[in-house]
Homo-oligomer: A and B are copies of this chain.
Amino acid sequence: MAAAAKSNSDNLTLDKVREALIRQEDTIVFRLIQRANFPVNSPTYDEKFASFSGSLLQFVVKETEALQSKVGRYENPEEQPFSPENLPPSLVPPQANPPVLHPAAASININEKIWDFYFNQLLSLFAVPGDDGNYASTASSDLDCLQAISRRIHYGYYVAEVKFKDAPQDYEPAIRAQVLHHRVIKPYSKRG
């Protein structure tokens, strides 16, 4: 939950971005330590929670993100949801500042990969086996970790943007070639 680069490109310098990244890394480390206070607590991930169509974890993620969406969390492009389907709109009046990022950058969401990595590789490295019954806290702790990791990774938007703004002449040809590459190559690739 480190402060966002405000939607004002004057605020966007490499120093400020670096400072934000360091804070975000501290947040990740601390949240992993918090999650490690609980054992794995596998019932949190059982296929079906009450009448919900997924696990207790998925219920917490979906409902928390819906609530956070209403209060404008996803108006910040570095905040990307893990359950983007049918998110309710923000009820917070939009900020008057023009957006810093190109729409193509702001629309990137690689949370599916982060989710997969967190649950299938990372979690078992730091949470001990066992069940202490604290499923609600386990689920919110998982979401805290996921959100912190996601924010840090998506914050790369701003690193790219600052570097681009410092030397657009160096990056433009590469970007144009990449766009062309995507247009020509992507429809035939397997991962779409």
Contacts and interface: CB of A to CB of B under 8 A. Distances in A.
Contact of A68 (B2, B68, B133, B140): B140
Contacts of A71: 49, 56, 59-60, 135-136, 139
A3 interface: yes
Interface in A111-153: 132-137, 139-141, 144
A164 to B, nearest CB: 23
A112 to B, nearest CB: 22
Interface string A7-49: 1000000000000000100010010001001100000000001
A34 B38 contact: no
A1 B143 CA distance: 12
Interface size class of A (residues with CB under 8 A): 35 or more
A43 to B, nearest CB: 8
Given A95-B133, A133-B95, A141-B1, A60 B67 contact: yes
Contacts of A59: 70-71
A63 interface: yes
B7 A91 contact: no
Given A4-B133, A27-B34, 13 more contacts: A1-B34, A2-B37, A3-B137, A30-B30, A50-B92, A59-B70, A59-B71, A60-B68, A63-B67, A64-B64, A71-B139, A72-B135, A92-B136
Interface of A: 1-4, 6-7, 23, 27, 30, 34, 37-38, 49-51, 56, 59-60, 63-64, 67-68, 70-73, 76, 79, 91-92, 95, 132-137, 139-141, 144
12 contacts: A1-B34, A2-B34, A3-B38, A7-B133, A30-B30, A50-B92, A51-B91, A56-B92, A59-B70, A64-B67, A71-B135, A76-B134
